[in-house]
């Protein structure tokens, strides 16, 4: 039985090196995705300067000349 007062930092979680490496890759990918999402959110919520109101760019279809 494990007590809460015991030091669990030295307890090894069973699993192969490959499983551990896969877990590390997954955790890094999640962290990177969260970081990217936070940066995008920050950029989208950033205020524009007073002299430059936000003007959406036209879509590709509108800017393409008619043939």
Q: Tens place of pLDDT for every residue, the chain, 67 residues? A: 566 666 666 666 667 888 999 999 999 999 999 999 999 998 888 776 666 666 667 777 665 555 5
Of 52, 11, 64, nearest to 2 by C-alpha is: 11
**DSSP tag of 43:** H
Backbone φ, ψ for residue 60 (5° rounding) = -60, -40
Put simply, whether the predicted model's pTM sits higher than 0.85 gets the answer no
User: Whole-angstrom Cα distance, residue 19 to residue 10?
Assistant: 19
């Amino acid at each position: 039985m494990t007590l809460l007062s015991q030091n669990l930092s030295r307890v090894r979680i069973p699993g192969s090196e490959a499983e551990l490496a896969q877990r590390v890759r997954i955790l890094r990918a999640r962290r990177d995705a969260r970081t990217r999402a936070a940066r995008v959110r920050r950029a989208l919520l950033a205020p524009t300067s007073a002299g430059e109101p936000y003007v959406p760019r036209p879509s590709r279809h509108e800017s393409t000349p008619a043939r």
